[in-house]
Amino acid sequence: MAKSVWFDLSVKFNSAHFSTSVFKCGRRWPISLSSWFKEYVHIPMGGSRTKSVRNTFITFACSGMWHGANFTYLIWGLINGLLVYVHKIFSKRAFKLPGIVKIIFTFIVIDFCWIFFRAASFNDAFYVITNSFVNLSFQSLKTVGVERHLWLIAIMMLVFMLTVEWITKEISVIGWWHTTRRRNRIVFLNVLLFLMLFFGVFEHRTFIYFQF
């Protein structure tokens, strides 16, 4: 959208879901915010040169509290700090895991952290964690007010978006746009318009970042 009106914005996300570690994921999502905390919080305290562990935990605690004055945000930040610290320890070991294993493991760990980020309280987060895989079935999913076909659509869209993210990781969309034929651009725009009309949410909603 910004490109269509000749604005060049800095990259905010860079295939974060395909990161092979929590450390790399933090650098890819969100890039602008993580860069700000690195330059104005982590480095002024000494960075990785002096008291690295302390600086890491304080930086991630601040990043958590930046999102809101709630204990769950603080926990979210501290867990991420702990994961980064653990990554630094084990990255020095000799053994290595396949890339796909590291990607899947990182994805699961990051999703676990999001529970605390989204929960209204620690008790809510604990309830979600302890009940996530209890009596799991399509019938139990109906209790949250979502029908089976909507869950299937959500899974299909998740696979689609991950595929798109993987493709854009290897191919520059902007470069493809400028080099491909006109008919390909027309087809792309029509598909994009169809997806917006079919899956778009058009009722009024408050911008999500206004709550932070």
pLDDT digits (tens, 9 = 90+) for 83-118: 988 888 877 765 678 888 888 899 899 999 999 998
CA nearest 83: which of 71, 91, 95?
Answer: 91
Instruction: Out of 42, 67, 149, 178, pick the active-site residue.
Output: 67
Q: Average of pLDDT values for 3-26?
A: 77
> Per-residue pLDDT tens for 19-76?
888 888 888 887 888 888 989 999 999 887 778 889 999 999 999 998 888 899 999 9
For tokens 């860069």, name the residue: 35
| CB-based contact 64:77 (threshold 8 Å) | yes
Tokens representing residue 156 in the block: 């299909």
Confidence (pLDDT) at 142? 62
pLDDT digits (tens, 9 = 90+) for 150-206: 778 888 888 888 887 777 777 777 778 778 888 988 898 898 888 888 877 777 766
Q: Is 204 a catalytic residue?
A: no
* Kind and range of the H or E run holding 1: none
- Cα separations (Å) of 199 from 23, 166, 185, 207? 33, 21, 21, 18
Place of tokens 């491909």: 180
Count the alpha carbons within 13 Å of 106 in the hemisphere toward its beta carbon.
23
- The answer to whether the CB of 51 falls within 8 A of the CB of 92 is no
Residue 115 tokens read as 């529970």
